[in-house]
Structure formats: C-alpha cells, structure tokens
Amino acid sequence: MNIIIVANRNNPKTLDALFQITAFLDSQAIVHNEIDVSDLPDSAFACSALADEVNARYGGAYDLIIALGGDGTILHTARLANVIEAPVLGINFGHLGFLANSADNGLIALLADALSGEIMREQRVNLHVSVTCVGDEEEPPEGPREFFALNEIAIARGAMGHIVDFAFDISGDRVAKLRGDGIIVSTATGSTAYSLSAGGPLVIPSHRGMIVAPLAPHTLYSRALVTEHHDVVEVSFEEGSPSSWEVSLFADGDALSFGRPISSIVVTTGERTTTLITRREESFYKQVARTFFK
C-alpha cells in the first residue's frame, strides 16, 4: 500500500495529526509521502499535459490520499486525486467541514477503518473548464486553457469593478443574456459553497448535474438552473466588449489569469468522478439543517 498525506501546515492542529498518522503508518509498514498543500500545483495541471509532470513528480500508484485541513485543503487535494486517480480521506481541522470527516471519535480509528474499507466511498462529480481567448485561433496560447474544479467555476467582476455583460447557453440553447456581477457554475458538492451565497439551491451530493447561478443579475427574472449530467454550459462575451478584458475567473476560489480577453468559457462535468471516503454520521439533510437553518 502507498499513501500520500497532504497537510495544511499553517494549521497547528494538523501537525499533531500528521505525527500520529505517520507513526501509525510506519508501525504498519505502509509506505507514505507527505506534501504541504501549498506545494500542490494549480487547477490547470489536473486537465492538461501537465498531468504527466505530476505523475512523474510523485511516481507510482497510490491507494489513498489523506487530506489534513479544512474543505479548502480537500479542494486542492482533489486536483491531485484527479491525476493519480486515488480516493481522498479528508480529516477536518477547518470550519464547516462539509467534505471532511470529524476525528472526534479517534484519528487512528478513523484511518484504520478507511484502510480496511469499512467507510463509505462517495463518487462526486467535478467540473472540466475550457477557456477560449480572443486570438487563440491565430496564435496558440502559451499557457493552459483547461482547468479542474470540484466545487465551482466563478466568472465575476474584475479589478475595475465594472458590471459584466454576458450570455449563457445550456447544451446549445440560449438561456439568457444578462448584466450583473457574473455567474457561477457549480457541482452538487459546491451547492453548499459560493453557489449558495448567490441564491443557488442546496443539492444532494449524489446529483450528477451542474448548478448555474447568476451573480447579482440586473433583472427581476433571473433564477438558478439545475442541469443534467450530460449538459454543456457555455458563457460568452461579445467581441470587443470591455467585459471580456475585465472579467475575473476563479476555479474553486483560485484566480486564473490570461494575457488576452476571454471569448468564451465552456463547462462540463469531468470524465471521471472524485472519490471521497466519508464516514457520514448524519444525513446530508440533517447536516444542512444543522448548518444553515439553525
């Protein structure tokens, strides 16, 4: 067995957990490799030729990734998991911990149950994001234009703060042409995050479609939409529009930058799911009720 441990070393609580886990794995003669979450590459490597570099860097086949931290640590770890195709056991040392397990009943007991296969594995849909910029056809881009996200892709106002003019289509059908702060495309996993703040619905994690939620649209008639698994969401900007230069793009909260104005952004569900090892002590609905309705 071969294990990677990703830890947020800026969180003092994770350091003691890291020591306990490595000591336990050593006692079981289990090979392990430790990585600080800050050393992980960005979201582009999970969907591009850079994935080969990641495989070469970490080498070998891994049976498990242990993520020590909050949901942010797990979101970053999911990018690595998408490349090396390993399940993620998240252990919460953050705030909400929707993606992570609590270690209140014993850290080593939780790990032992995960290693023995006694904890449920959930398949979570993720996002594949493809960005086209003005001039890409005439001059190939220098950097990657494909990205991975487990929670959401957010298209938002840029540094100038100007309102964004955009249109969005779902599977080839024009849904709306809007002005506003932008738009969020999220997974069901991300429905409890930024999408929720934008007025999107809470969606059970097993749902395989996407959620499309406009950000502060300048209209009385806009609503969030829930798609099917096979749908394709495209957000576009008119050529020459100031929005194409000024808009900001974020994958799971990390800013993505381009040297050219954005022409369109296409979002689909990923080809393979992200596997989270979860000891669910309460249902999703009870967790939502406790977190958001009390």
Domain with residue 263: its CATH number is 2.60.200.30
Domain with residue 101: its CATH number is 3.40.50.10330
Q: How far apart are CA 30 and CA 34, in angstroms?
A: 13
Residues 281 and 250 in one domain: no
What pLDDT does 280 receive? 78
Q: Which residues of 5-17 are buried (b: 16+ CB within 10 A; e: fewer)?
A: bbbbbebeebeeb
- Domain range for 190: 127-269
Sheet with 262-269: strands ordered across: 146-149, 127-133, 262-269, 233-236, 164-170, 173-180
Number of domains in the chain: 2
- Catalytic position from the list 71, 181, 231, 252: 71
Residue 71 annotated among the catalytic residues of the structure: yes
What pLDDT does 49 receive? 55
Residues 179 and 69 in one domain: no
Block mean pLDDT (10 aa), the chain, length 294: 90 90 95 88 67 66 91 92 91 80 89 91 96 86 85 88 91 96 97 94 96 94 95 91 83 90 94 92 88 85
Residues 94 and 176 in one domain: no
Do residues 237 and 131 make contact, with C-beta atoms less than 8 angstroms apart?
no
